[in-house]
Amino acid sequence: MAVASRFMCTTLTHHGFSSTTHRTHLGHAQLTLSSRKNQIIHCSVSASDATKTSSVMEPVIPWGCDIDSVEIASALQKWLSESGLPPQKMGIQRVDVGERGLVALKNIRKREKLLFVPPSLVITADSEWSCPEAGEVLKRNSVPDWPFIATYLISEASRMKSSRWSNYISALPRQPYSLLYWSQAELDRYLEASQIRERAIERINNVIGTYNDLRLRIFSKYPDLFPEEVFNIDSFIWSFGILFSRMVRLPSMDGKVALVPWADMLNHSCDVGTYLDYDKSSKGIVFTTDRVYQPGEQVFISYGKKSNGELLLSYGFVPREGANPSDSVELPLSLEKSDESYEQKSELLKKYGLSESQCFPIQITGWPVELMAYAYLAVSPSSLSGKFEEMAAAASNKITNKKDLRYPEIEEQALQFILDSCEFSISKYNKFLQVSGSLDLDVTSPKQLNRRLFLKQLAVDLSTSERRILFRTQYILRRRLRDMRSGELRALKIFDGFRNLFQ
Ligand SMILES: C[S@@+](CC[C@H](N)C(=O)[O-])C[C@H]1O[C@@H](n2cnc3c(N)ncnc32)[C@H](O)[C@@H]1O
C-alpha cells in the first residue's frame, strides 16, 4: 500500500497530465468534469457543483460492502482458504484502528514471516479477464498498469458472482475513505490551510482525465465491451479509490503493482517498518514482523514513510498527533513581484523546472537544502545576479553537490524570509482551527452531520500536525537568527570598543 504517489508519475504522464513531484507548484488546479455531449458528469466528485456538497455522498456503486462489514470479510476468508491460502496466524476482526483489520490468533514472534498469499490469489496487470476481449483491447492500446487494473476491477465487479474475484470484491468498501469522494466545497472548507488540498484537486483531475482519455480512445469505440452504465466516472472514482488505498508495489517483482486479497486487510502503523513483498523462496506475498504480537492484538504493516497529508490523500486517515516520524508539511514560498530581478529569477527557475511559487517539504527535524537555495534566490539583491543561476539550480534537484551552498552576506535575510513564510502559513492554520470550532449545523440528517464531523476531525488533525511542524521550524529559525544577530552585535561592540580606544 505504498504506491499511490507513484501513480501520477509513472502511469499518466504519457497522456500529458501533470505529474506529482515532491516539490509542488502552486498553480490553482481546475476540476473539470465536462463529459461527452458537453454535459456535466453526474459523479461523486462533482466539485464544480458546489451546491451538491451539502448533501451526503451516497455510494452509487452496486458492489462492495459497508466499510466496517466483518461478516462479508469472513466469507472472503473462507473463500481464500478454499482457493489456496494456507492456514494463517491472523483473522479478520473489527478493530479500534482502521475499522476492520488482521488480529493475531496466536503468539507471533519478531522476524516471523506471515501471510503467504500465493500469486494465483493476487490481482496484477497479468491477471486473466472474465471477458478476455476487453483485456486484449486495453493491451493493444498500451494502457498503463494503474488504469488497466482500475478497468479490470470494474469489469470483474460488474460480473458479480461469475467473476472469480466476487468474494474479494464483495468485501471491498463500497465507498473507500478517500479524498476522491470530497467535493470541491469540502476540500475548500476543510483543507483551506493545507497544501494537500491542491494535491487532492490534482489527483481528482488526474483520475477524471484518465477516465475521459479511456472513454474517448477506447470505451466509446467498443461500447459492447465497455458499456457506459458500468464504465463511468462513478465506477472509476471507486476503483481508483480502492487502488490508492490498497494497491501495493512489490520490490522483489521489479516494482510490479498488485492487489493482494487478505494482505490488504492489514492496517498501517507508524511504529512498524515492515512491508509486503514477494518472497522468492516461499513463492508468495509475505511480510516479516518487526515486533511481537500477543493473541488478540492487531497486526500492522507500514504503508511507507508518508506524511500525514499523504496518508490522508491516499488512505483517508490521519495518524495521532506526533505519532508519525515521517510527517512533513509543504511550505509555500514565492518570489516578490516587486523584486527588481523578478523576471530574471523567474526565467532561471523555469529553466530548472521550478516556478515563482513553489512548495518545499519541511520535517520536524529541518528543511531541505533546496528550500534554503530558493530562499537565497528570493532575497538576493541584483548585485548578486552572477549567483542567481547557481541558486536556482540548487533549488531544483538537478545538481547533486549542494553541501557548500552558503551565501553569508544574505543568510540572515534568507532565514527571515523562511520565517515570514512559516508565519503566513501558521496564520492560515490558526484561522481554520479557530473557525472549525463553530461547526455549521445547516444539515438535515444525522448522516450529513456525521460526515461533516468526520471530515472536520480529519482536517483538524491534519492542520494541527502540519502547524506543529511549522511551530518547530519557527523555533529553530528564531534561535538561529538570534544567535546570528547576537554574534553581529558582539562583533559590533568589539569594533566600537576598538574605535573608542583609538579616538
Ligand atoms: C489496505 S486497507 C486496510 C483494511 C481496511 N481497514 C478494511 O477494512 O478494508 C486501507 C484502509 O484501512 C484504513 N486504515 C489503515 N490504517 C489505518 C490507521 N492507522 N488508522 C485509521 N485507518 C486506517 C483506511 O481506511 C485505509 O484506507
**Among the listed residues 295, 328, 332, the one whose alpha carbon sits nearest the alpha carbon of residue 310:** 328
Q: Are residues 365 and 403 in the same domain?
A: yes
CA of 21 to the centre of ligand 1 (A): 25
Question: Which of 90, 94, 100, 268, when mutated, tests ligand 1's pocket best, judged by the most ligand atoms within 8 Å of its CB?
Answer: 268
| CATH code, domain with 357 | 3.90.1420.10
CA angle 493, 495, 496 (to 5 degrees): 60
Q: Is 282 helix (H, G, I), strand (E, B) or coil?
A: coil
User: Of the given ranges (226-240, 424-438, 456-470), which has the lowest mean pLDDT?
Assistant: 424-438
CB atoms within 10 A of CB 221: 12
The answer to the question of whether 342 is labelled as a binding residue is no
Q: Could you tell me if 458 and 318 are in contact, meaning their C-beta atoms sit under 8 angstroms apart? A: yes
pLDDT at 234 over 60: yes
Cα 439 from Cα 449, distance rounded (Å): 10
User: 278: which strand partners?
Assistant: 285
Q: Does residue 222 have its Cβ closer than 6 Å to ligand 1?
A: no
Q: Does residue 97 have its Cβ closer than 6 Å to ligand 1?
A: yes
pLDDT at 192 over 70: yes
Q: Is residue 101 part of a domain?
A: yes
Q: Are residues 374 and 332 in the same domain?
A: yes
Q: Is residue 26 part of a domain?
A: no
Q: Is residue 379 part of a domain?
A: yes
The answer to the question of whether 264 is labelled as a binding residue is yes
* Entry field: residues in the chain: 503
Cα 298 from Cα 266, distance rounded (Å): 9
Q: Is residue 426 part of a domain?
A: yes
Q: Are residues 435 and 470 in the same domain?
A: yes
Domain end, chosen from 238, 266, 301, is at 301
Looking only at the bridges linking them, the beta strands covering 267-268 and 300-301 are: parallel
Looking only at the bridges linking them, the beta strands covering 113-117 and 100-104 are: unpaired
Q: Are residues 262 and 375 in the same domain?
A: no
159 lies in which domain range? 31-301
Q: Are residues 137 and 251 in the same domain?
A: yes
Q: How confident is the model at residue 486 (pLDDT cuts 50, 70, 90)?
A: confident
The minimum-distance atom of ligand 1 relative to the CA of 101 is 6
Q: Is residue 423 part of a domain?
A: yes
Q: Is residue 417 part of a domain?
A: yes
Q: If DSSP states are collapsed to H, E and C, what string results for 47-107?
A: CCCHHHHHCCCCCCCCCCECCCCHHHHHHHHHHHHHCCCCCCCEEEEECCCCCEEEEECCC
Q: Are residues 179 and 259 in the same domain?
A: yes
- How much is the pLDDT for 184? 94
- Give the DSSP letter of residue 218: T
- Give the DSSP letter of residue 174: S
Q: What is the ipTM of this complex?
A: 1.00
Q: How confident is the model at residue 402 (pLDDT cuts 50, 70, 90)?
A: low
| CATH code, domain with 96 | 3.90.1410.10
The answer to the question of whether 246 is labelled as a binding residue is yes
Q: Are residues 270 and 159 in the same domain?
A: yes
Q: Does residue 43 have its Cβ closer than 6 Å to ligand 1?
A: no
- Average pLDDT rounded to a whole number, residues 194-202: 97
Q: Are residues 410 and 449 in the same domain?
A: yes
Cα 215 from Cα 36, distance rounded (Å): 9
Q: Cα dist. 288→265, 285, 484 in Å?
A: 16, 10, 48
Q: Could you tell me if 353 and 398 are in contact, meaning their C-beta atoms sit under 8 angstroms apart? A: yes
Question: Which of 317, 318, 327, 454, when mutated, tests ligand 1's pocket best, judged by the most ligand atoms within 8 Å of its CB?
Answer: 317
Q: Could you tell me if 184 and 53 are in contact, meaning their C-beta atoms sit under 8 angstroms apart? A: yes
Q: Is residue 438 part of a domain?
A: yes
Q: Are residues 289 and 341 in the same domain?
A: no
Q: Could you tell me if 146 and 243 are in contact, meaning their C-beta atoms sit under 8 angstroms apart? A: yes
Q: Are residues 369 and 239 in the same domain?
A: no
- How much is the pLDDT for 174? 95
The model's pLDDT over 265-305, given as tens digits with 9 standing for 90+, comes to: 999 999 999 999 999 999 999 999 999 999 999 999 999 99
Q: Are residues 293 and 385 in the same domain?
A: no
pLDDT at 28 over 90: no
Number of domains forming the structure of the chain? 2
Q: Are residues 240 and 379 in the same domain?
A: no
Q: Does residue 99 have its Cβ closer than 6 Å to ligand 1?
A: yes
pTM of the model: 0.88
Question: What is the residue whose three cell numbers read 504519457?
Answer: 14
Q: Is residue 242 part of a domain?
A: yes
The minimum-distance atom of ligand 1 relative to the CA of 100 is 8
